[in-house]
Structure 1
Amino acid sequence: MRILSLVFLFSFIAAKGQDAILKDSITQLEEVILIDALKAKNATGITPSDVISAKIFQSYSPVDLVSAMNQIPGVYILSGALNTNRITIRGIGARTLFGTDKLRMYYNEIPVTNGTGTSTLESYDLENLSQIEIIKGPKGTVYGANLGGAILLTPKEALGKSINLRNNFTVGSFNMIKNNLSFNHQDDVFSLNLQYGHLQTNGFRENNNFERDGFLLNTAYQINEKNTISLLINHVDYTAQIPSSLGATAFAEDPKQATFTWRASQGYETNNQTLVGISLAHEFNQNFKNTTSVFYSYLDKYEARPFGILDEMTNGYGFRTKFSSSLEVFNKTSQITFGGELYKDEYDWDEYENLYQDNNGNGSLEGAQFARNKEYRNQLNGFATFLFPFTNVLSTQVGLSVNKTKFNLQDRFNEGNDNKSSEKSFKAILLPSIELNYHPNTTNEFFANISRGYSNPSLERTLTPDGLVNPDLKQETGVNYEIGTNLRLVDNNLNIGLALYQMNINNLLIREQVGDDQFIEKNAGKSKHQGLELGLDYSLIHTPEFNLNPFINYTLNYHSFVDFVDNGNDYSGNEVTGVPKNRVTAGLQTRIFNHFYLNLIAQHIGKIPITDANDVYSDASTVFNLRSGYQKKISNKFSLGIDFGINNLTDKVFAQSVLINTQGFGGNEPRYYYPGNARNYYASFSIGYSL
Structure 2
Amino acid sequence: MSFKINYLRASPGGLQTKKINLFRCRTSGNKTLNEGFKGFSLLFTLLFALQIIAQDTQKDSITQLDEVVLTQDAIPKKATGITSSSKIAGQAFERFNPTDIPSAINQISGVYILSGAINTNRITIRGIGARTPYGTNKLRMYFNGIPVTNGTGSSTIEAYDYENLGTVEVIKGPKATAYGSNLGGAILLDTKASVQDKTQLINSFAMGSYNMLKDNLTFTHSEDGFNLSLSYNHLETDGYRQNSQFRRDGLLLNTQFQTGQKSSMAILVNYIDYTAHIPSSINQTDFEEDPTRAPSNWLESKGYEANNYILTGLSHTYQFSENLQNTTSVFYTYLDHYEPRPFDILDEFTNGFGVRNRFAGNWGNAQFSFGGEFYKDEYHWGTFENLYEENNGNGSLQGSQLSDNTEFRRQFNLFGTLTYPLTTKFSAQLGLNLNKTHYDFRDLFNQGETNASAERDFDAILLPNLGINYQLKNAKVYANISRGFSNPSLEETLTPEGIINPGIAQETGTNYELGSELSLFEKRLSANISLYRMNVKNLLVAQRIGEDQYIGRNAGKTRHQGLELDLQYREKLSRSVTFSPYLSYTLNDHSFVDFVDGDNDYSGNPLTGVPKHRLSSGIDLRHSNGLLLNLTHQYVDEIPLTDANSINSDSFNVFHAKLGFRTSLSSHISLGLSTGINNIFDSNYAQSVLINAVGFGGAQPRYYYPGNARNYFGGMQLNYVF
TM-score of the pair, normalised by structure 1: 0.94
Listed as ranges, the matches of 1:162-241 within 5 Å are 162-241=198-277
* 1:454 equivalent in structure 2: 485
- Does structure 1 residue 362 correspond to structure 2 residue 394? yes
- Does structure 1 residue 386 correspond to structure 2 residue 424? no
Match of 1:590 among 621, 624, 629: 621
- Does structure 1 residue 374 correspond to structure 2 residue 406? yes
User: Which string of whole-angstrom CA distances, capped at 9 and with x for unpartnered residues, describes residues 297-338 of structure 1?
Assistant: 00000001000000010000000011012112xxxx101100
- Does structure 1 residue 57 correspond to structure 2 residue 74? no
- Does structure 1 residue 529 correspond to structure 2 residue 560? yes
* 2:121 equivalent in structure 1: 85
- Does structure 1 residue 503 correspond to structure 2 residue 558? no
In the TM superposition, structure 1's runs of 4+ consecutive aligned residues that sit over 4 Å from their partners are: 22-25, 28-38
* Distance (Å, rounded) in 1 between the aligned partners of 2:297 and 2:538: 36
* 1:252 equivalent in structure 2: 288
Q: What is the total number of aligned residue pairs between the two structures? A: 665
Listed as ranges, the matches of 1:420-439 within 5 Å are 420-439=452-471
Q: Which residue identity is paired with 1:185?
A: H
- Does structure 1 residue 635 correspond to structure 2 residue 666? yes
* 1:320 equivalent in structure 2: 356
Please report how far the alpha carbon of residue 140 of structure 1 lies from its aligned counterpart in structure 2 after TM superposition. Answer: 0.2
- Does structure 1 residue 124 correspond to structure 2 residue 160? yes
Q: Which residue identity is paired with 1:433?
A: N
Please report how far the alpha carbon of residue 93 of structure 1 lies from its aligned counterpart in structure 2 after TM superposition. Answer: 0.1
* Distance (Å, rounded) in 1 between the aligned partners of 2:438 and 2:356: 18
Say whether the 8 Å CA contact 2:16–2:68 is kept in structure 1: no
* Distance (Å, rounded) in 1 between the aligned partners of 2:402 and 2:492: 19
Please report how far the alpha carbon of residue 415 of structure 1 lies from its aligned counterpart in structure 2 after TM superposition. Answer: 3.9
Say whether the 8 Å CA contact 2:327–2:359 is kept in structure 1: yes
User: Which string of whole-angstrom CA distances, capped at 9 and with x for unpartnered residues, describes residues 117-162 of structure 1?
Assistant: 1000011001010010000000000011100000000011213211
- Does structure 1 residue 279 correspond to structure 2 residue 309? no
Q: Which residue identity is paired with 1:312?
A: E
Listed as ranges, the matches of 1:28-43 within 5 Å are 39-43=75-79
Please report how far the alpha carbon of residue 373 of structure 1 lies from its aligned counterpart in structure 2 after TM superposition. Answer: 0.3
Please report how far the alpha carbon of residue 459 of structure 1 lies from its aligned counterpart in structure 2 after TM superposition. Answer: 2.2
Say whether the 8 Å CA contact 1:36–1:156 is kept in structure 2: no
Say whether the 8 Å CA contact 1:34–1:158 is kept in structure 2: no
DSSP 3-state at the match of 1:139: helix
* Distance (Å, rounded) in 1 between the aligned partners of 2:244 and 2:410: 35
* Distance (Å, rounded) in 1 between the aligned partners of 2:568 and 2:88: 14
* Distance (Å, rounded) in 1 between the aligned partners of 2:14 and 2:246: 35
Q: Which residue identity is paired with 2:554?
A: N
Q: Which residue identity is paired with 1:225?
A: Q
Q: Which residue identity is paired with 1:498?
A: I
Listed as ranges, the matches of 1:461-476 within 5 Å are 461-476=492-507
User: Which string of whole-angstrom CA distances, capped at 9 and with x for unpartnered residues, describes residues 422-447 of structure 1?
Assistant: 01110000000001011123x42111
* Distance (Å, rounded) in 2 between the aligned partners of 1:84 and 1:194: 27
Q: Which residue identity is paired with 2:497?
A: D
Say whether the 8 Å CA contact 1:33–1:158 is kept in structure 2: no
- Does structure 1 residue 545 correspond to structure 2 residue 576? yes
Say whether the 8 Å CA contact 1:544–1:594 is kept in structure 2: no
Please report how far the alpha carbon of residue 541 of structure 1 lies from its aligned counterpart in structure 2 after TM superposition. Answer: 2.4
Say whether the 8 Å CA contact 2:19–2:717 is kept in structure 1: no
* Distance (Å, rounded) in 2 between the aligned partners of 1:551 and 1:466: 51
* Distance (Å, rounded) in 2 between the aligned partners of 1:584 and 1:556: 9
Listed as ranges, the matches of 1:563-642 within 5 Å are 563-593=594-624, 595-642=626-673
Change (3 A) 1:157 1:347: same
Q: Which residue identity is paired with 1:400?
A: L
* Distance (Å, rounded) in 1 between the aligned partners of 2:19 and 2:576: 15
* Distance (Å, rounded) in 2 between the aligned partners of 1:81 and 1:282: 42
Change (3 A) 1:24 1:535: farther
* Distance (Å, rounded) in 2 between the aligned partners of 1:418 and 1:92: 36
Please report how far the alpha carbon of residue 35 of structure 1 lies from its aligned counterpart in structure 2 after TM superposition. Answer: 9.5
Bigger Cα displacement from structure 2, 627-636 vs 351-360 = 627-636
Say whether the 8 Å CA contact 1:35–1:156 is kept in structure 2: no
**Unaligned 5+ runs, structure 1:** 1-21
User: Which string of whole-angstrom CA distances, capped at 9 and with x for unpartnered residues, describes residues 397-425 of structure 1?
Assistant: 10000100000110001144475100111
* Distance (Å, rounded) in 1 between the aligned partners of 2:16 and 2:610: 33
* 1:26 equivalent in structure 2: 17
The sequence identity of aligned pairs, in percent, is 53
* 2:428 equivalent in structure 1: 396
Say whether the 8 Å CA contact 2:345–2:385 is kept in structure 1: yes
Say whether the 8 Å CA contact 1:44–1:142 is kept in structure 2: yes
* 2:334 equivalent in structure 1: 298
Say whether the 8 Å CA contact 1:304–1:364 is kept in structure 2: yes
* 1:4 equivalent in structure 2: none
* Distance (Å, rounded) in 2 between the aligned partners of 1:678 and 1:33: 35
Match of 1:650 among 668, 681, 690: 681
- Does structure 1 residue 413 correspond to structure 2 residue 445? yes
Match of 2:472 among 432, 440, 444: 440
* 2:140 equivalent in structure 1: 104
Change (3 A) 1:281 1:594: farther
User: Which string of whole-angstrom CA distances, capped at 9 and with x for unpartnered residues, describes residues 497-535 of structure 1?
Assistant: 100000000101111011221211000000000100011
* 1:8 equivalent in structure 2: none
